[in-house]
Amino acid sequence: MILRCGTRELDLSHPVVMGVLNVTPDSFSDGGRYLDADAAVGHALDMVNAGAALIDIGGESTRPGADAVSPAEEMRRVVPIIHALSSQTNAIISVDTSKPEVMLAAVRAGARMINDVRALQLPGALEAAAATDAAVCLMHMKGEPRTMQNQPSYIDVVAEVRAFLADRVRACVAAGIATDRLVVDPGIGFGKRLEHNLALLAGLRWLRSDELATPALLVGVSRKSMFGTLLGRPVEQRLAGGLAVATAAALAGANILRAHDVAETVDAVKVAAALRAAGYGDARAGTESGTGD
């Protein structure tokens, strides 16, 4: 399974980790830590050395209540980092943005993936992504980041998210973006309560259907508020919960796990990949070696 990322190809025959780099003052987990360019590049390289196959660089926080950022300011934050990093690593660089101007500037600077929480729905975004050869991640979000957690509701969250992503895949294909450039993301925590997040994670296999016809499924749960609700843990104490879900997601077929804690997530994903290769989840696994009932 190969994901085309511009002139690069990403092997997804086993799950990989995407490291998070927020160059923002107000992201929920690490806002303000990497505003300095040298600190940002250094942290990105540390994540690559820890095993990240992709680095996702964002210049605007999408947490509830965060301030909006102009395209010019977002480009000022991310483009120099992408340019500097592209000459220092072979990891795929992703830009976390919804703005067409930022997409185009980031790809020119060396980004090979566009990660859009709005699934290319802003005016001009679909055309901008189609004008590049970058991979595209289409995420589901109900509402807007600043208000998305104001009483989100669904009749069948898995079916609704699947239908939305299938529609966005069709729009991309119609615009000339081939399916081997597309990734889908159910958007855990984006306009969803705990029960919605858990239902989506339990139903990940339904997002790998022929209807979506995409080569890759991305899941990002690192440090999210669902663990605050579920475990009563503050942001800095949510690693164990995140690793549990990353492992479960990889076992369920997720190809890319987006994480802040790269080294630990890489280890968890390696274990999940080994279990999958050994037949974990197969009702027949173990019976031939005499360990079954």
Catalytic residues: 224, 258
Pick the closest to residue 138 from 91, 102, 92, 170 (CA basis): 170
Other beta carbons within 10 angstroms of residue 205's beta carbon come to 11
